[in-house]
A = this chain, B = another copy of it.
Amino acid sequence: MKRITTEAAEPQEHRTKPPTVRDVARRAGLSQAAVSYALAGPSPRVSDQTRQRVLQAAAELGYQPNVLARVMKGKEAGLLGIIVRDGGAPTAAEVCRTLMTRAPAYGYDIILTDAGNSATTLLRLANLMKSRLCDGLFLVGELPDQDMHWDAYERLGVPTVALLHGDERAYPGTRVSVERRSGLREALDHLYELGHRHIGFVGSDLLNGLKERRRTFVSLMRERGLPLPKESLLLTDFSREGGRDAMRRLMSMASPPTAVLACADLVASGMLVEARRAGVAVPGDISVVGYDDNPEAEYSCPTLTTVHQPIAEMADRALEWFQSRRAGGASSLDNLVVNATLVVRESTGPAPLDGPAKGRAHTGAVRRGRSSVPGG
Protein backbone atom coordinates (compact mmCIF):
# COMPACT_ATOMS: atom_id res chain seq x y z
CA MET A 1 0.00 0.00 0.00
CA LYS A 2 2.91 2.28 0.39
CA ARG A 3 3.87 2.28 -3.24
CA ILE A 4 5.37 5.72 -3.51
CA THR A 5 7.90 5.04 -6.21
CA THR A 6 6.64 4.30 -9.73
CA GLU A 7 6.63 7.29 -12.08
CA ALA A 8 7.47 9.93 -9.52
CA ALA A 9 11.15 8.95 -9.33
CA GLU A 10 13.76 11.41 -10.54
CA PRO A 11 15.05 10.61 -14.01
CA GLN A 12 18.43 12.33 -13.77
CA GLU A 13 20.42 9.49 -12.30
CA HIS A 14 19.37 7.04 -14.95
CA ARG A 15 22.36 8.08 -17.01
CA THR A 16 24.77 5.86 -15.17
CA LYS A 17 22.67 2.72 -14.99
CA PRO A 18 21.92 0.81 -18.14
CA PRO A 19 18.34 1.17 -19.36
CA THR A 20 15.77 -1.40 -18.26
CA VAL A 21 12.48 -2.55 -19.72
CA ARG A 22 10.86 0.14 -17.62
CA ASP A 23 12.87 2.83 -19.36
CA VAL A 24 11.97 1.48 -22.74
CA ALA A 25 8.32 1.29 -21.74
CA ARG A 26 8.32 4.87 -20.54
CA ARG A 27 9.92 6.03 -23.74
CA ALA A 28 7.47 4.10 -25.91
CA GLY A 29 4.54 5.15 -23.74
CA LEU A 30 3.61 1.56 -22.94
CA SER A 31 3.71 -0.88 -20.09
CA GLN A 32 6.73 -3.00 -19.30
CA ALA A 33 4.77 -6.09 -20.21
CA ALA A 34 4.07 -4.81 -23.68
CA VAL A 35 7.75 -4.18 -24.13
CA SER A 36 8.63 -7.62 -22.92
CA TYR A 37 6.21 -9.25 -25.35
CA ALA A 38 7.37 -7.10 -28.22
CA LEU A 39 11.00 -7.87 -27.55
CA ALA A 40 10.35 -11.58 -27.36
CA GLY A 41 9.51 -11.62 -31.07
CA PRO A 42 6.40 -11.25 -33.20
CA SER A 43 3.43 -12.39 -31.15
CA PRO A 44 -0.33 -12.08 -31.25
CA ARG A 45 -0.08 -10.16 -28.00
CA VAL A 46 1.16 -6.96 -29.55
CA SER A 47 0.40 -5.26 -32.84
CA ASP A 48 3.19 -4.90 -35.32
CA GLN A 49 2.97 -1.17 -35.02
CA THR A 50 3.41 -1.21 -31.27
CA ARG A 51 6.24 -3.66 -31.70
CA GLN A 52 8.05 -1.30 -34.01
CA ARG A 53 7.65 1.53 -31.50
CA VAL A 54 9.14 -0.66 -28.83
CA LEU A 55 11.99 -1.84 -31.00
CA GLN A 56 12.86 1.70 -31.89
CA ALA A 57 12.73 2.94 -28.34
CA ALA A 58 14.93 0.03 -27.29
CA ALA A 59 17.41 0.79 -30.03
CA GLU A 60 17.51 4.46 -29.15
CA LEU A 61 18.28 3.71 -25.54
CA GLY A 62 20.73 1.00 -26.42
CA TYR A 63 18.71 -1.36 -24.30
CA GLN A 64 20.13 -4.79 -23.58
CA PRO A 65 18.14 -7.25 -21.49
CA ASN A 66 19.56 -8.09 -18.10
CA VAL A 67 20.41 -11.73 -18.44
CA LEU A 68 20.65 -12.20 -14.71
CA ALA A 69 17.08 -11.17 -14.12
CA ARG A 70 15.92 -13.43 -16.88
CA VAL A 71 17.80 -16.34 -15.44
CA MET A 72 16.50 -15.65 -11.96
CA LYS A 73 13.01 -15.99 -13.27
CA GLY A 74 13.86 -19.58 -13.97
CA LYS A 75 14.59 -19.49 -17.67
CA GLU A 76 17.36 -21.67 -18.93
CA ALA A 77 20.44 -19.63 -19.42
CA GLY A 78 21.77 -21.62 -22.34
CA LEU A 79 25.06 -21.22 -20.61
CA LEU A 80 27.54 -23.82 -19.48
CA GLY A 81 30.44 -23.25 -17.12
CA ILE A 82 33.91 -24.69 -17.17
CA ILE A 83 35.94 -24.94 -14.03
CA VAL A 84 39.48 -25.82 -14.84
CA ARG A 85 41.89 -26.93 -12.20
CA ASP A 86 44.90 -25.31 -13.76
CA GLY A 87 44.64 -23.55 -17.08
CA GLY A 88 48.39 -23.68 -17.39
CA ALA A 89 48.40 -27.40 -18.05
CA PRO A 90 48.49 -27.79 -21.81
CA THR A 91 45.99 -30.61 -22.13
CA ALA A 92 43.49 -28.97 -19.82
CA ALA A 93 43.90 -25.75 -21.74
CA GLU A 94 43.19 -27.47 -24.98
CA VAL A 95 40.15 -29.25 -23.64
CA CYS A 96 38.80 -25.89 -22.50
CA ARG A 97 39.53 -24.27 -25.81
CA THR A 98 37.84 -27.09 -27.64
CA LEU A 99 34.77 -26.99 -25.43
CA MET A 100 34.52 -23.25 -25.97
CA THR A 101 34.91 -23.57 -29.70
CA ARG A 102 32.35 -26.30 -30.10
CA ALA A 103 29.72 -25.26 -27.58
CA PRO A 104 27.95 -22.81 -29.90
CA ALA A 105 27.21 -25.64 -32.31
CA TYR A 106 25.26 -27.27 -29.51
CA GLY A 107 23.37 -24.11 -28.69
CA TYR A 108 25.36 -23.12 -25.63
CA ASP A 109 27.44 -20.19 -24.58
CA ILE A 110 30.22 -20.96 -22.22
CA ILE A 111 32.20 -19.29 -19.47
CA LEU A 112 35.33 -20.50 -17.79
CA THR A 113 37.06 -20.00 -14.50
CA ASP A 114 40.35 -21.25 -13.22
CA ALA A 115 40.49 -22.78 -9.78
CA GLY A 116 44.24 -22.29 -9.70
CA ASN A 117 44.74 -25.59 -7.89
CA SER A 118 42.73 -24.42 -4.90
CA ALA A 119 39.75 -26.41 -3.77
CA THR A 120 38.17 -23.51 -1.93
CA THR A 121 38.43 -21.31 -4.99
CA LEU A 122 36.89 -24.06 -7.01
CA LEU A 123 33.93 -24.35 -4.70
CA ARG A 124 33.43 -20.60 -4.53
CA LEU A 125 33.42 -20.31 -8.29
CA ALA A 126 31.26 -23.37 -8.65
CA ASN A 127 28.75 -21.75 -6.34
CA LEU A 128 28.73 -18.65 -8.44
CA MET A 129 28.18 -20.53 -11.65
CA LYS A 130 25.65 -22.81 -10.13
CA SER A 131 23.53 -19.95 -8.85
CA ARG A 132 21.20 -20.37 -11.77
CA LEU A 133 23.77 -18.79 -14.04
CA CYS A 134 24.91 -21.97 -15.71
CA ASP A 135 22.75 -24.86 -16.77
CA GLY A 136 25.66 -27.20 -16.31
CA LEU A 137 29.29 -27.44 -15.34
CA PHE A 138 32.40 -29.03 -16.73
CA LEU A 139 35.13 -29.97 -14.30
CA VAL A 140 38.32 -30.04 -16.32
CA GLY A 141 41.31 -31.64 -14.64
CA GLU A 142 41.36 -33.00 -11.13
CA LEU A 143 42.60 -31.24 -8.06
CA PRO A 144 45.49 -32.83 -6.23
CA ASP A 145 43.38 -33.19 -3.09
CA GLN A 146 39.93 -33.39 -4.54
CA ASP A 147 39.06 -36.61 -2.76
CA MET A 148 38.71 -34.51 0.36
CA HIS A 149 35.93 -32.48 -1.14
CA TRP A 150 33.55 -35.11 -2.25
CA ASP A 151 30.59 -33.99 -0.22
CA ALA A 152 30.96 -30.46 -1.52
CA TYR A 153 31.08 -31.66 -5.10
CA GLU A 154 28.01 -33.74 -4.66
CA ARG A 155 26.12 -30.86 -3.17
CA LEU A 156 26.67 -28.70 -6.19
CA GLY A 157 23.23 -29.56 -7.43
CA VAL A 158 24.04 -28.82 -11.04
CA PRO A 159 24.50 -31.35 -13.81
CA THR A 160 28.22 -31.81 -14.06
CA VAL A 161 30.57 -33.64 -16.38
CA ALA A 162 34.17 -34.22 -15.40
CA LEU A 163 36.96 -34.42 -17.96
CA LEU A 164 40.56 -35.51 -17.42
CA HIS A 165 39.66 -37.07 -14.12
CA GLY A 166 40.97 -40.61 -14.12
CA ASP A 167 38.70 -43.52 -13.40
CA GLU A 168 35.55 -43.91 -11.33
CA ARG A 169 37.45 -44.17 -8.09
CA ALA A 170 38.86 -40.73 -8.73
CA TYR A 171 35.52 -39.28 -9.72
CA PRO A 172 32.31 -41.24 -9.28
CA GLY A 173 30.04 -38.83 -11.15
CA THR A 174 29.43 -38.47 -14.85
CA ARG A 175 32.69 -38.14 -16.71
CA VAL A 176 34.41 -38.50 -20.02
CA SER A 177 37.19 -40.99 -19.68
CA VAL A 178 39.88 -42.24 -21.99
CA GLU A 179 40.33 -45.94 -22.42
CA ARG A 180 43.92 -45.99 -21.24
CA ARG A 181 44.85 -49.56 -21.93
CA SER A 182 44.54 -49.57 -25.69
CA GLY A 183 46.55 -46.42 -26.26
CA LEU A 184 49.40 -47.51 -24.04
CA ARG A 185 49.31 -50.98 -25.57
CA GLU A 186 49.76 -49.46 -29.01
CA ALA A 187 52.73 -47.50 -27.71
CA LEU A 188 54.32 -50.63 -26.27
CA ASP A 189 53.66 -52.62 -29.44
CA HIS A 190 55.31 -49.89 -31.43
CA LEU A 191 58.40 -49.91 -29.24
CA TYR A 192 58.53 -53.70 -29.18
CA GLU A 193 58.46 -53.85 -32.94
CA LEU A 194 61.35 -51.42 -33.00
CA GLY A 195 63.33 -53.91 -30.95
CA HIS A 196 63.05 -52.28 -27.54
CA ARG A 197 62.94 -54.64 -24.61
CA HIS A 198 64.10 -52.47 -21.78
CA ILE A 199 61.40 -49.82 -21.52
CA GLY A 200 61.09 -47.28 -18.73
CA PHE A 201 58.38 -44.97 -17.52
CA VAL A 202 58.58 -41.42 -16.24
CA GLY A 203 55.55 -40.73 -14.09
CA SER A 204 54.14 -38.44 -11.50
CA ASP A 205 51.93 -39.09 -8.52
CA LEU A 206 50.39 -35.64 -8.47
CA LEU A 207 47.06 -36.66 -9.97
CA ASN A 208 45.05 -39.84 -10.02
CA GLY A 209 44.94 -39.82 -13.81
CA LEU A 210 48.72 -39.82 -13.98
CA LYS A 211 49.03 -42.58 -11.43
CA GLU A 212 46.66 -44.69 -13.47
CA ARG A 213 48.79 -44.31 -16.54
CA ARG A 214 51.73 -45.69 -14.65
CA ARG A 215 49.74 -48.57 -13.21
CA THR A 216 48.44 -49.47 -16.63
CA PHE A 217 51.94 -49.35 -18.03
CA VAL A 218 53.22 -51.69 -15.35
CA SER A 219 50.40 -54.10 -15.88
CA LEU A 220 50.95 -54.15 -19.64
CA MET A 221 54.66 -54.78 -19.20
CA ARG A 222 53.92 -57.72 -16.93
CA GLU A 223 51.32 -59.02 -19.34
CA ARG A 224 53.99 -59.12 -21.99
CA GLY A 225 56.66 -60.59 -19.76
CA LEU A 226 59.11 -57.74 -20.26
CA PRO A 227 61.61 -56.92 -17.53
CA LEU A 228 60.87 -53.85 -15.47
CA PRO A 229 63.60 -53.07 -12.97
CA LYS A 230 62.43 -50.74 -10.26
CA GLU A 231 64.82 -47.96 -11.23
CA SER A 232 63.22 -47.82 -14.68
CA LEU A 233 60.04 -46.54 -13.08
CA LEU A 234 60.94 -42.93 -12.47
CA LEU A 235 58.89 -40.50 -10.50
CA THR A 236 59.17 -36.79 -11.13
CA ASP A 237 57.30 -33.49 -11.13
CA PHE A 238 54.46 -33.00 -13.57
CA SER A 239 56.28 -30.24 -15.44
CA ARG A 240 58.83 -29.60 -18.12
CA GLU A 241 61.48 -29.27 -15.42
CA GLY A 242 60.43 -32.63 -14.08
CA GLY A 243 61.09 -34.12 -17.49
CA ARG A 244 64.53 -32.58 -17.66
CA ASP A 245 65.36 -33.94 -14.27
CA ALA A 246 64.16 -37.41 -15.24
CA MET A 247 66.30 -37.39 -18.36
CA ARG A 248 69.34 -36.48 -16.33
CA ARG A 249 68.66 -39.34 -14.00
CA LEU A 250 68.20 -41.72 -16.91
CA MET A 251 71.52 -40.68 -18.40
CA SER A 252 73.30 -41.35 -15.17
CA MET A 253 71.98 -44.88 -14.89
CA ALA A 254 74.38 -47.78 -15.33
CA SER A 255 72.02 -49.45 -17.74
CA PRO A 256 69.30 -47.07 -18.81
CA PRO A 257 66.25 -48.22 -20.79
CA THR A 258 66.47 -47.89 -24.57
CA ALA A 259 63.01 -46.39 -24.66
CA VAL A 260 60.91 -44.43 -22.21
CA LEU A 261 57.24 -43.62 -21.94
CA ALA A 262 56.42 -40.33 -20.28
CA CYS A 263 53.18 -39.88 -18.40
CA ALA A 264 52.52 -36.65 -20.31
CA ASP A 265 53.80 -34.66 -23.27
CA LEU A 266 54.74 -31.87 -20.92
CA VAL A 267 57.20 -34.17 -19.21
CA ALA A 268 58.36 -35.72 -22.48
CA SER A 269 59.02 -32.26 -23.84
CA GLY A 270 61.34 -31.51 -20.94
CA MET A 271 63.10 -34.79 -21.58
CA LEU A 272 63.74 -33.83 -25.20
CA VAL A 273 65.07 -30.44 -24.20
CA GLU A 274 67.51 -31.97 -21.76
CA ALA A 275 68.55 -34.66 -24.22
CA ARG A 276 69.35 -32.06 -26.81
CA ARG A 277 71.24 -29.98 -24.30
CA ALA A 278 73.28 -32.95 -23.20
CA GLY A 279 73.99 -34.23 -26.69
CA VAL A 280 71.97 -37.40 -26.32
CA ALA A 281 70.37 -38.43 -29.58
CA VAL A 282 66.61 -39.02 -29.67
CA PRO A 283 65.71 -41.51 -30.99
CA GLY A 284 69.26 -42.70 -31.80
CA ASP A 285 70.25 -43.35 -28.21
CA ILE A 286 66.89 -43.40 -26.53
CA SER A 287 63.33 -43.36 -27.80
CA VAL A 288 60.77 -41.18 -26.07
CA VAL A 289 56.99 -41.52 -26.18
CA GLY A 290 54.63 -38.92 -24.75
CA TYR A 291 51.03 -39.02 -23.70
CA ASP A 292 48.38 -36.43 -24.64
CA ASP A 293 49.41 -35.26 -28.11
CA ASN A 294 49.42 -31.60 -27.23
CA PRO A 295 49.73 -29.26 -30.21
CA GLU A 296 53.36 -28.67 -29.31
CA ALA A 297 54.17 -32.33 -29.87
CA GLU A 298 54.09 -31.67 -33.57
CA TYR A 299 56.59 -28.85 -33.30
CA SER A 300 59.07 -30.13 -30.79
CA CYS A 301 62.52 -31.20 -31.81
CA PRO A 302 62.40 -34.03 -32.64
CA THR A 303 58.65 -34.19 -33.13
CA LEU A 304 57.12 -36.37 -30.48
CA THR A 305 55.67 -39.84 -30.85
CA THR A 306 52.79 -39.79 -28.41
CA VAL A 307 49.47 -41.25 -27.39
CA HIS A 308 46.78 -39.03 -28.81
CA GLN A 309 43.85 -38.13 -26.61
CA PRO A 310 40.91 -37.36 -28.86
CA ILE A 311 40.04 -34.05 -27.33
CA ALA A 312 37.52 -32.95 -29.91
CA GLU A 313 35.66 -36.17 -29.39
CA MET A 314 35.79 -35.76 -25.62
CA ALA A 315 34.29 -32.30 -25.94
CA ASP A 316 31.57 -33.57 -28.23
CA ARG A 317 30.65 -36.39 -25.86
CA ALA A 318 30.38 -33.97 -22.98
CA LEU A 319 28.34 -31.44 -24.90
CA GLU A 320 26.05 -34.13 -26.29
CA TRP A 321 25.37 -35.29 -22.78
CA PHE A 322 24.08 -31.87 -21.80
CA GLN A 323 22.10 -31.60 -24.96
CA SER A 324 20.34 -34.90 -24.44
CA ARG A 325 19.67 -33.98 -20.84
CA ARG A 326 18.06 -30.78 -21.96
CA ALA A 327 15.94 -32.74 -24.41
CA GLY A 328 14.47 -34.66 -21.52
CA GLY A 329 16.42 -37.79 -20.64
CA ALA A 330 17.92 -37.47 -17.18
CA SER A 331 20.69 -39.92 -17.97
CA SER A 332 22.53 -39.95 -14.70
CA LEU A 333 26.05 -41.06 -13.88
CA ASP A 334 27.24 -41.87 -17.34
CA ASN A 335 30.74 -42.88 -18.19
CA LEU A 336 31.48 -41.57 -21.65
CA VAL A 337 34.47 -43.44 -22.98
CA VAL A 338 36.71 -42.42 -25.84
CA ASN A 339 39.77 -44.16 -27.24
CA ALA A 340 43.35 -43.04 -27.36
CA THR A 341 45.59 -43.98 -30.25
CA LEU A 342 49.29 -43.77 -30.92
CA VAL A 343 50.70 -41.10 -33.22
CA VAL A 344 54.14 -41.99 -34.48
CA ARG A 345 56.52 -39.13 -35.14
CA GLU A 346 60.26 -38.72 -34.91
CA SER A 347 61.11 -39.36 -31.28
CA THR A 348 60.97 -43.14 -31.56
CA GLY A 349 63.27 -45.33 -33.59
CA PRO A 350 64.98 -48.72 -33.58
CA ALA A 351 66.60 -49.80 -30.37
CA PRO A 352 70.36 -49.17 -30.38
CA LEU A 353 72.13 -52.35 -31.57
CA ASP A 354 75.07 -51.99 -29.27
CA GLY A 355 73.08 -51.91 -26.09
CA PRO A 356 71.94 -48.99 -24.01
CA ALA A 357 73.05 -45.46 -24.69
CA LYS A 358 75.20 -45.40 -21.61
CA GLY A 359 77.93 -47.42 -23.26
CA ARG A 360 78.40 -45.04 -26.17
CA ALA A 361 80.91 -42.35 -26.87
CA HIS A 362 78.78 -39.31 -26.25
CA THR A 363 77.95 -40.42 -22.74
CA GLY A 364 81.14 -38.74 -21.78
CA ALA A 365 79.75 -35.56 -23.19
CA VAL A 366 76.71 -35.92 -21.01
CA ARG A 367 78.90 -36.20 -17.96
CA ARG A 368 81.05 -33.34 -18.97
CA GLY A 369 78.07 -31.18 -19.71
CA ARG A 370 76.32 -31.67 -16.44
CA SER A 371 78.41 -33.56 -13.97
CA SER A 372 77.14 -31.64 -11.00
CA VAL A 373 73.55 -32.54 -11.57
CA PRO A 374 71.45 -34.10 -8.77
CA GLY A 375 70.05 -37.57 -9.23
CA GLY A 376 73.34 -38.98 -10.50
**Interface residues of A, Cβ cutoff 8 Å to B:** 16-18, 62, 64-69, 71-72, 79, 87-88, 93, 96-97, 100-101, 104, 109-114, 116, 121, 124-125, 127-133, 155, 157, 240, 269, 273, 276, 296, 299-301
Contacts and interface: CB of A to CB of B under 8 A. Distances in A.
A112 B113 CA distance: 6
A130 to B, nearest CB: 7
Contacts of A273: 299
Nearest to A113: B111
A13 to B, nearest CB: 13
A367 to B, nearest CB: 23
A96 B114 CA distance: 10
A72 B62 contact: no
A72 B67 contact: no
A81 to B, nearest CB: 8
A79 B128 contact: yes
Given A18-B130, A97-B88, A68 B66 contact: no
A71 B71 CA distance: 13
A125 B133 CA distance: 13
Nearest to A127: B64
A234 to B, nearest CB: 21
A110 B113 contact: yes
A33 B141 CA distance: 39
Contacts of A112: 111-114
A58 to B, nearest CB: 12
